[in-house]
Amino acid sequence: MMKTANKTVTATRLVKDALAKVKHFEDYNIFTFINEEGALKKAAEIDAKIARGEKVGRLAGVPYALKDNFLSPEGETTASAHILEGFSSPVTATAVAKLEAEGAIMIGRTNMDAFAHGSSTENSYFGPTRNAFDKERVAGGSSGGSAVAVALDIVEFATGTDTGGSIRQPASFNGVYGLKPTYGTISRYGVVAMASSTDCIGFFTKTPDDMNLLMEITAGQDPKDMTTLPDYYKESTPKESSLRIGIIKDFDNESVDIEIRKALKKKCEELKAKGHEIVELEMPALKYALAAYYIIVPAEIASNLSRYDGIRYGFRAGDSQDLNALYKNTRSEGFMPENKRRIMIGNFVLSSGFYDAYFLKAAKARTLIVKEYADAFSKCDFILTPVSPNPAFKLGEKVGDPVAMYLEDMMSVSLNLAGVPGLAIPAGKTKDGLALGLQLVGPRRSDKALIEFSKELI
């Protein structure tokens, strides 16, 4: 359970402790902004309320870290991209407003791949974040800063976004819990858009109970986000005690690190010993998930990033002769290479000459994947699979090879295409001391039961 403030342990004490840890772990490059003044001010307000005997929220005085793509007025929201430098948000994301209404205190914004494009946090304008267990290795991405902030106990929870794995993969690289909820569970209002049909808001925590509490606070319909679902979360009922757990046969091959495969087998044995049944699944459409994802997502990125023109937000390149040159110079200087790659791929697959060959095909593959998950969940209650094919890799190892980086996502992206929830859970360590993670996958709206069930695997 998260430590909340009371008369003896004040919010100010909790915030000061967290800020001291921020300083201590400075060389991991976790934060893009430290909210020292704002956090202490909020803590003092909460302490005053407690002293007056007033009611405080369920997260009173709990320090947390905010991924740099959530809008809030403190500091600049840059999505770790040069093109948003200097942008102070006039609005607050719904998720942030809900957390803060319960008394949570944001102590800093966390580093990420610029615009959440990436799997290692190396695409950040501010440089990479380091892995919590090995400083020479990547934090995972795109929510690398948030995952490491929780793994190193700087904060008890951090926010993330998951468009194709950006919560689950860094969670598994750093040995913490990371939830990508059912699409539409938490409002995306006030979060920098990557791919609107797969973007999900979620969290990193140390325990399933903390995850459940954060979901209870933030899930629900929001008039400002038309894709939010009616509030199902609190009402959902836990599953029966003995369950059928699906294992995807297609993923048990040489492209998956042997230690990850062993961790999966071990967890299956533990589940069997607890009376659950293991069901083998064939899911042949999943092999198209990565290709479909890297067509659909860039198409949506190209559209979502078209708003960054040097006029409305953040950075503007100097010395432009006319308006077109201003757009061109701002976008050329402001975006990272990976952002530009996706804008180009996206516009290409949407162009009239290639739409049928690429975008339409990918959309059809997506439908097959949705059906395949629906089928799978008629044969089992949950699925247990790896999150990624390997544990954290070395800094610099893949950043120059976009395809190698994209392959990192082969086990995570299908959930986003299907809109189903996935919870990354810690699953031990490699012999070199790196974190291993697995993910539990459930049908849409099974999020609460999924979190509850993960306790079987502790």
Active site residues: 67, 142, 166
159 binds ligand GLN (CB under 6 A): no
164 binds ligand GLN (CB under 6 A): yes
Which residue of this chain has its Cβ atom nearest to ligand GLN in the complex? 166
116 binds ligand GLN (CB under 6 A): yes
Which of 10, 111 has the CB closer to ligand GLN?
Answer: 111
In angstroms, give the least distance from the CB of 12 to ligand GLN: 35
Which of 297, 451 has the CB closer to ligand GLN?
Answer: 297
Please state, in angstroms and as integers, the Cα–Cα distance from residue 197 to each residue in 72, 316, 400, 417, following that order. Answer: 23, 29, 28, 8
CA neighbor of 105 nearest in space, from 24, 187, 41: 41
Stretch that binds ligand GLN, among 60-68, 126-134, 163-171, 229-237 (CB under 6 A): 163-171
122 binds ligand GLN (CB under 6 A): no
Q: Which of 166, 182, 187, 304 binds ligand GLN (CB under 6 A)?
A: 166
Which of 204, 232 has the CB closer to ligand GLN?
Answer: 204
300 binds ligand GLN (CB under 6 A): no
| Residue 23 to residue 20: CA distance in whole angstroms | 5
Which of 138, 436 has the CB closer to ligand GLN?
Answer: 138
Give the other-Cβ count within 10 Å of 87's Cβ: 19
Inter-residue contact 235 to 219 (CB < 8 Å): no
| Residue 12 to residue 45: CA distance in whole angstroms | 9
Beta bridge partners of 204: 158, 178
Give the other-Cβ count within 10 Å of 437's Cβ: 27
Inter-residue contact 285 to 368 (CB < 8 Å): yes
Give all strands of the β-sheet with 244-248 in edge-to-edge order. 31-34, 105-110, 63-67, 157-162, 200-205, 177-180, 422-429, 435-441, 382-386, 244-248, 277-281
In angstroms, give the least distance from the CB of 393 to ligand GLN: 13
Q: Which of 142, 174, 182, 446 binds ligand GLN (CB under 6 A)?
A: 142
163 binds ligand GLN (CB under 6 A): yes
| Residue 377 to residue 148: CA distance in whole angstroms | 33
Determine the Cα angle at 222 with ends 218 and 226, to 5°: 130
165 binds ligand GLN (CB under 6 A): yes
> Cis omega (within 30 of 0) on the bond before 241?
no
Query: Taking the alpha carbons of 370, 374, 380, 382 in that order, is the dihedral positive or negative?
Result: positive
194 binds ligand GLN (CB under 6 A): yes
| Residue 289 to residue 322: CA distance in whole angstroms | 42
456 binds ligand GLN (CB under 6 A): no
Which of 118, 386 has the CB closer to ligand GLN?
Answer: 118
Q: Which of 82, 98, 109, 117 binds ligand GLN (CB under 6 A)?
A: 117
In angstroms, give the least distance from the CB of 114 to ligand GLN: 11
336 binds ligand GLN (CB under 6 A): no
331 binds ligand GLN (CB under 6 A): no
Which of 4, 129 has the CB closer to ligand GLN?
Answer: 129
80 binds ligand GLN (CB under 6 A): no
Which of 411, 438 has the CB closer to ligand GLN?
Answer: 411
In the complex, the residues that contact ligand GLN under the rule CB under 6 A are 116-119, 142, 161-166, 194, 297, 409
